[in-house]
A = this chain, B = another copy of it.
Amino acid sequence: MDHAGDSAAFCPLYQRAAELIGGRWTGAILRALLAGRARFTDLAGSIPGLSDRMLSERLKELEAAGIVTRTVAATTPVRIEYHLTERGHALNAVVQAVSQWAELWLPHDEAAAEDVTAQPPAQH
A contacts, CB < 8 Å to B: 1-4, 7-28, 31-32, 34-37, 46-48, 64-66, 86-87, 90-91, 93-106, 108, 110-112, 114, 116-117, 119, 121, 123-124
Contacts and interface: CB of A to CB of B under 8 A. Distances in A.
A114 B8 CA distance: 21
B15 A28 contact: yes
Q: Which of A3, A20, A27, A102 has the most CB of B within 10 A?
A: A102
A96 B112 CA distance: 27
Q: Which of A3, A19, A26, A90 has the most CB of B within 10 A?
A: A19
Contacts of A7: 31, 34-35, 95, 99
A4 B100 contact: yes
